[in-house]
Structure 1
């Protein structure tokens, strides 16, 4: 909460707490009464007013705590989802890097294949297919829920790391082919 809102709330709270006393003094006077009956009447009047004020403040406090707890749980959930996604993507990137080391011609092959050969290419290189699918699925999940949030930076991080391992052109070609063949299921 900003400082101005906090100051306004304090002024409102102080006013709400002092107004009943001021009204009582204005109507019935101020002093030390000699009879128990006068003290009982004052206690009854102020107690009835203050119990409602304190009940409202307790409700307000509980509502604020509930909102804070909800925000905290949502943040923890988001952190968990993003963390799990990043772990899966990092494992997939490591597997792709090992696969490229074991198959040094794969990048040249990616650049040379046409759209009609892509399905056969994916079947021939299932390790690449599985791990690239993990990366793309992670990106789709992050894009669907985290664009415009502080977690959006991870989308670009994954894309940059994928481009660094595969090469930018190869990465973009695989994304295009995946979108057509795997996700959209369009025949080429």
Structure 2
């Protein structure tokens, strides 16, 4: 405001102020004030344009962050919806004779071992068991004898290939959101809230223990292949808290 008033004040103080009858006096005043106000207005215009550009960049970054987080959340949610169906399927509806023989390992061609395995799987507790229940029994609860563990572990490895693939895709989406949340800045809260929402949604839909078991199971399957799978979220978080 002072930049607008001061030039007029100084001009009036030096040359006076009035309603002149001479065109020359009006021209002199206009020339003097125009020479002062023109660069001031140009500078103010430049400042306004810079502020508008900065706001435009900020809005674009916000829109891009919202689009990316929404895309990752949608990807993760889609995989969760498919996974919730697969993991609650009964073991008897998923396995076949080829899987049973594969789970027998060296005894795959032993008919007595095969019939015994079929008998165990036809028992009510095994027949009605879901893949989720079997997963929890092998990871969180670790029930049964060592022989049973090896057999059912091998059986689950074969029956859970699609589940593992979907869970890894979910983890990829969640890890991308967490990576965005680790970058300091004005938009960090958008990524942090999105990752927390997706993680909470998975816990609500599958159960926290199941999510942790899926992380552990994926690591187990990779380890058997001589690989390392580090893109886990629930298992790592649980052990940090412990």
TM-score for the superposition, normalised by structure 2: 0.62
Identify the residue that residue 189 of structure 2 maps to in structure 1. Answer: 149
Trace 1:38-53 onto structure 2 (pairs within 5 A): 38-53=25-40
Matched, 1:168 2:185: no
Unaligned runs of 5+ in 1: 1-13
Unaligned runs of 5+ in 2: 91-128, 140-149, 183-187, 223-227, 232-242
Matched, 1:102 2:89: yes
Identify the residue that residue 137 of structure 1 maps to in structure 2. Answer: 172
Distance 1:49 1:41 in 2: 13
Distance 1:65 1:123 in 2: 58
Query: What secondary structure does 1:183 align onto?
Result: coil
Distance 1:66 1:98 in 2: 48
Identify the residue that residue 127 of structure 1 maps to in structure 2. Answer: 162
Q: Provide, for residues 131-159 of structure 1, a one-character-per-residue CA deviation record: whole Å limited to 9, x for no partner.
A: 11121111111111135414422222222
Q: Provide, for residues 9-47 of structure 1, a one-character-per-residue CA deviation record: whole Å limited to 9, x for no partner.
A: xxxxx2111111111101111112232222111111110
Query: What secondary structure does 1:145 align onto?
Result: helix
The ranges of structure 1 where at least 4 consecutive aligned residues each deviate by more than 6 angstroms after the TM superposition are 117-120
Q: Displacement of 1:110 after TM fit?
A: 1.7
Distance 1:31 1:56 in 2: 29
Higher helix share: 1
Q: Which has the larger radius of gyration?
A: 2
Moved more, 155-164 or 38-47: 155-164
8 Å CA contact retained: 1:20, 1:46: yes
Identify the residue that residue 91 of structure 1 maps to in structure 2. Answer: 78
Distance 1:81 1:24 in 2: 57
Matched, 1:68 2:42: no
Distance 1:131 1:39 in 2: 81
Identify the residue that residue 230 of structure 2 maps to in structure 1. Answer: 184
* Number of residue-to-residue matches in the alignment: 170
Report the RMSD for the aligned CA atoms in angstroms. Answer: 2.5
Distance 1:87 1:32 in 2: 71
8 Å CA contact retained: 1:122, 1:128: no
Identify the residue that residue 137 of structure 2 maps to in structure 1. Answer: 112
